[in-house]
Structure 1
Amino acid sequence: MKNYTSDEDVILEKTRYDIFRHLLPVIVYMILFGAAGIVGNILTFIFYTFKSKRSTTVMLIACLAMVDLIVCVLFIPNIIEMWVNVKYTASFICKLAHFVGLWAVACSGLILWVVAIDRHRKICRPFGKQMTLVTAKYAVIAIVSFGLVLSVRNFANFDSVEVNVVDHDVNMTVQGRYCTTRDDDSYIVSVTIFTVIDFLLMLMVWLTLAVAYSHIIYTIFKLQKKRKRLHQNPKVKTLDINNPSYEIERQDEINTNSQQGHGSFSSAVHTEETEEHRKVDPVKQHENSERASILSNELGSSSYGDDKYAIDLDISTESRQSVQPRVSVTPTCSSIQESRPSDENTTEYSSSCDIEHLPDAGTLSPGNHSKSTMQKKFHRHKKPKRYNSAKCAVERNLTFKMLAVSIVFIVCFTPYFIIKILMREVLKTGEEYELNLWAQISLRLPYMNSVFNPIVYCAFNPKFRLYIKGVFLGLVFGCFRKTKYLFKS
């Protein structure tokens, strides 16, 4: 019996080493990427928490960096699983590691889901109701709580499961153990149900990301196309005098201008006035001359014998005809302003020779303004323009950055569900298939998503690049100074 047990141990150790040798590339890149992910997510959290302007998306990115940091720390138990593979017997560590892993990965996906909704509101509905910092905090708390409830099932569904290890050299099969989901008859139903729930939840996130960012890209593209068209074809109104419609347009403009002034006349009416005044009656000319002479006598008598008060009035017909066409508001004859109380409301328009050509009293009264004048007065107090996120380059850059993060998320999770649903639930391949190289890469890709996010932030944010560069240069120069001081001492 001892001999048999020793043979089993030898076979298990040999199988473990063979699997470890095949999985060594995955183990190496997980060690390297895990260390890079821990450093990158720490710097991301510090930058977006303390070095960036506070906003809903920036706060969600900081929370996502914290979740990704937890996922990168969980690279350690995943590396141990691949290292030990068929000799993994630590059941509680297996349950705890996959519970925390599912919790962090679910929170990461749901935070990206909220970010997509926030970006869609900012770009496609910039004047609608937006998410606030308080709302984003409550959303993160709800996501963490929901992820905790969703992940508790891994304490039951994950365990150190027995796997069949076959040695073809001695034609012998032994039982090993590997950390994965249980396939017992009592657990197979619950494992299948929760796997389908995970898939439907991720499908909801994927569809939201696809629809939201598709609409965002369409809105930005339409806005840029409209701006480009406005720059290329400015709206310049050209008038063709030979065109028969020109006279109609000109008459419409004259009618519009006649309503906007407060005592202004149109050019067409003004021309008729000048033509009428050129045909003045001789009787009216004689009356005007007599009135002018009486006015000159009165002014001359009131000068008290002083020559400086003498006024030479020339109201000949030629002078009136030469002055009248130039000014449309002043009367054609010199106005006589009497001191009677009934004439207090009359102004310089109270001349008897042109009173019929003046606007109505209702038009001249201060209380009755024209509609266009009132509109002008009201339009002076314009409301301040509201902020449009679609026109802001910073918001567009932030949107494209989160779009790239979402694409990486979808790419990393697709192979995982292919292995978990297609291979395990549909084809019933068993646990042994998960020990394959490509299966292990697919199963670890959701964790790798947390490593790629800081790389995307660095690619899209030049300020973040400068911050990382400053941190690393500070560390290098600090180490160099310490080394130099040690050598001198």
Structure 2
Amino acid sequence: MGFREKTELDTVNQRNTKEYIPAIVVISIVLSSGLILNSFASLFYGRQTRKSAFQIFVLSLSVNFLITNLVLLHDIVELFYFVQYESVAACKLFYVLKHWFVGNSLFFMVAIGFDRYRTVCFPFSKALTLRTAWCVILGLSVFSLGISVSLFSTTDIVRMNITTSHNSTIHGHTCTFSESENLQTLRVINHFVDVSLHGIILSLFVFFYTFITRKLIITRKKVKGNVSGKLKMEVYKIGSAEHSEITSDISTKCEEISEEHPHANTDISMGNRHKEQSTKQFNEKMTNTPSNNKNPGLFNLANKKNHDERTEIVNNGNIETGETGVGRSKDTLSRKKRAKNKSRWERRITIMATVKTVSSIACFVPFYVSMMIITPKLHGDGLVLDVGSIIARRSFMLNSAINPIIMIIFNDAFRQYLKGTLHKVTSKFRVSYRSFK
């Protein structure tokens, strides 16, 4: 390449770089956000002591997104040398790594969807062990790598003809799929495999989350029905502020019952009399203190016996009336609270996984459309793709940046961890800044 031709190629490349500034800024922001947030997400899930299959899948996805962002930094460099890219090894390696880690993210989200499907739709099934989860991650990674290796052959540095403003033709080079006729069959096979796998992945997403959403809706309706039924039955739980109002309603109902059933008053009065008599006997027994007893030892023994009886009644409840004791009721309430918190946590992480999947599909849609309808111009003024096409073909990058943002929204523990870490970092920065001043 002569000096004059190289100078004109530099001019074309500088013009393209200025044209691609909006795309460079957008990609830089997306990748920077992904690097920072996925680093926090990887540390958060990696430091947790109690792990489950779901947490391992999310940890693997966060680490994979972090590596993907590091690999995709090459895209920013490429935009500065779009028509002067001459390294064949870097071109082939970049395409293989990009295809591998982007494919990993899709496969890992399928694993998350499968785990949520089993947990929600089959809650009594045996949970995946940690070893099984790691084996799934390793198997999916190896499978994705096997598909990506073929890109070593189908990608290459392509020579392009650029017409300058002086109507002269110069030659540039860009990294893209090879135009060799010998590799035409392999390229078609690779595209067919990619389209088929993406179609299967999309179908699995739809299958898993359709049944998950259906199960959550049915469960929510059942819970609402049970709660409303229990509220109707638990009339005895009356607050002090509502006592007078509800007592008047009950008395009104009793009068109506007495008018319709004349014998009801007799039964009610007998029941009340029996209750009053039992209460009176219990109070006499509790308040009976042998004050006239001259033996203090017997007096203390009687007090101890009465105290033990009162304690037993409070703890174990009244057997005749069927009332529950304080200790037993506390255990029941704690179990119910734990079950409720676990159910709420499962529901939140299921919603988080669903939103992740939907956002991932939305991020890939512009990429699929641009790859099908937009063809790079390898002959012309040197502007291979316009700014919109550059951004559309890299829309999948948003997936790595959106993933930790969704975790911040739906995962309270991760949000608190992020706040605490940022607070520590800012505090140390303030201390170092004051000491420097």
**How does the TM-score come out when normalised to structure 2?**
0.71
Instruction: Identify the residue that residue 365 of structure 2 maps to in structure 1.
Output: 414
Instruction: Identify the residue that residue 9 of structure 2 maps to in structure 1.
Output: 12
Q: Could you tell me how far 1:418 is from its partner in structure 2?
A: 2.1
Residue number among 84, 92, 98 corresponding to 1:101 in the alignment: 98
Q: Determine whether 1:397 maps to 2:342.
A: no
Instruction: Identify the residue that residue 183 of structure 1 maps to in structure 2.
Output: 179
Larger radius of gyration: 1
Summarize the alignment of residues 158-177 of structure 1 with structure 2, pairs less than 5 Å apart. Answer: 158-167=155-164, 169-177=165-173
CA distance in 2, matches of 1:391, 1:37: 30
Instruction: Identify the residue that residue 331 of structure 2 maps to in structure 1.
Output: none
CA distance in 1, matches of 2:88, 2:342: 55
Q: Determine whether 1:231 maps to 2:227.
A: yes
8 A contact 2:367–2:392 mirrored in 1: yes
Instruction: Identify the residue that residue 26 of structure 1 maps to in structure 2.
Output: 23
- Structure 1, unmatched stretches of 5+, are 238-383
Instruction: Identify the residue that residue 266 of structure 1 maps to in structure 2.
Output: none
Q: Secondary structure at the match of 1:483?
A: helix
8 A contact 1:12–1:176 mirrored in 2: yes
8 A contact 2:83–2:174 mirrored in 1: yes
Q: Could you tell me how far 1:231 is from its partner in structure 2?
A: 3.1
Q: Could you tell me how far 1:15 is from its partner in structure 2?
A: 2.0
CA distance in 1, matches of 2:114, 2:37: 26
Alpha carbons of 1:431 and 1:391: their partners in 2 closer, same or farther (altered >3 Å)? farther
Residue number among 366, 370, 393 corresponding to 1:443 in the alignment: 393
Instruction: Identify the residue that residue 460 of structure 1 maps to in structure 2.
Output: 410
CA distance in 1, matches of 2:58, 2:137: 11
Alpha carbons of 1:236 and 1:473: their partners in 2 closer, same or farther (altered >3 Å)? closer
Alpha carbons of 1:222 and 1:92: their partners in 2 closer, same or farther (altered >3 Å)? same
Q: Could you tell me how far 1:416 is from its partner in structure 2?
A: 1.8
Q: Determine whether 1:70 maps to 2:20.
A: no
Instruction: Identify the residue that residue 145 of structure 2 maps to in structure 1.
Output: 148
CA distance in 2, matches of 1:122, 1:388: 15
8 A contact 1:121–1:128 mirrored in 2: yes
Residue deviations 1:180-208, cap 9 Å, x none?
Answer: 11122112221122022112111111111
Q: Secondary structure at the match of 2:394?
A: helix
Alpha carbons of 1:38 and 1:52: their partners in 2 closer, same or farther (altered >3 Å)? farther
Q: Could you tell me how far 1:447 is from its partner in structure 2?
A: 2.6
CA distance in 1, matches of 2:388, 2:382: 13
Q: Secondary structure at the match of 1:89?
A: coil
Alpha carbons of 1:233 and 1:399: their partners in 2 closer, same or farther (altered >3 Å)? same
Q: Could you tell me how far 1:74 is from its partner in structure 2?
A: 1.3
Alpha carbons of 1:83 and 1:112: their partners in 2 closer, same or farther (altered >3 Å)? same
- Structure 2, unmatched stretches of 5+, are 234-334
Letter in 2 for 1:399: T
8 A contact 1:180–1:431 mirrored in 2: no
CA distance in 2, matches of 1:17, 1:120: 51
Q: Secondary structure at the match of 2:175?
A: strand
Letter in 2 for 1:470: G
Summarize the alignment of residues 348-367 of structure 1 with structure 2, pairs less than 5 Å apart. Answer: none
Instruction: Identify the residue that residue 241 of structure 2 maps to in structure 1.
Output: none
Q: Could you tell me how far 1:29 is from its partner in structure 2?
A: 2.3
8 A contact 2:54–2:112 mirrored in 1: yes
8 A contact 1:390–1:396 mirrored in 2: no
Q: Secondary structure at the match of 1:162?
A: strand
Q: Secondary structure at the match of 1:445?
A: coil
Alpha carbons of 1:65 and 1:389: their partners in 2 closer, same or farther (altered >3 Å)? farther
Instruction: Identify the residue that residue 276 of structure 2 maps to in structure 1.
Output: none
Q: Could you tell me how far 1:151 is from its partner in structure 2?
A: 1.2
CA distance in 2, matches of 1:132, 1:93: 39
8 A contact 2:163–2:382 mirrored in 1: no
Higher relative contact order (CA 8 A, sep 6+): 2
CA distance in 2, matches of 1:155, 1:99: 7
Q: Determine whether 1:114 maps to 2:111.
A: yes
Larger mean Cα displacement after TM superposition, 124-133 or 467-476: 124-133
Residue deviations 1:34-71, cap 9 Å, x none?
Answer: 22211211110110121364111111100111111111
Q: Could you tell me how far 1:173 is from its partner in structure 2?
A: 3.2
Alpha carbons of 1:389 and 1:175: their partners in 2 closer, same or farther (altered >3 Å)? farther
CA distance in 2, matches of 1:202, 1:37: 23
8 A contact 1:126–1:390 mirrored in 2: no
Alpha carbons of 1:188 and 1:429: their partners in 2 closer, same or farther (altered >3 Å)? farther
Instruction: Identify the residue that residue 80 of structure 2 maps to in structure 1.
Output: 83
**How does the TM-score come out when normalised to structure 1?**
0.63
CA distance in 2, matches of 1:411, 1:172: 43
Residue deviations 1:332-373, cap 9 Å, x none?
Answer: xxxxxxxxxxxxxxxxxxxxxxxxxxxxxxxxxxxxxxxxxx
Instruction: Identify the residue that residue 50 of structure 1 maps to in structure 2.
Output: 47
8 A contact 2:370–2:393 mirrored in 1: yes
8 A contact 2:13–2:84 mirrored in 1: yes
Instruction: Identify the residue that residue 196 of structure 2 maps to in structure 1.
Output: 200
CA distance in 2, matches of 1:174, 1:388: 71
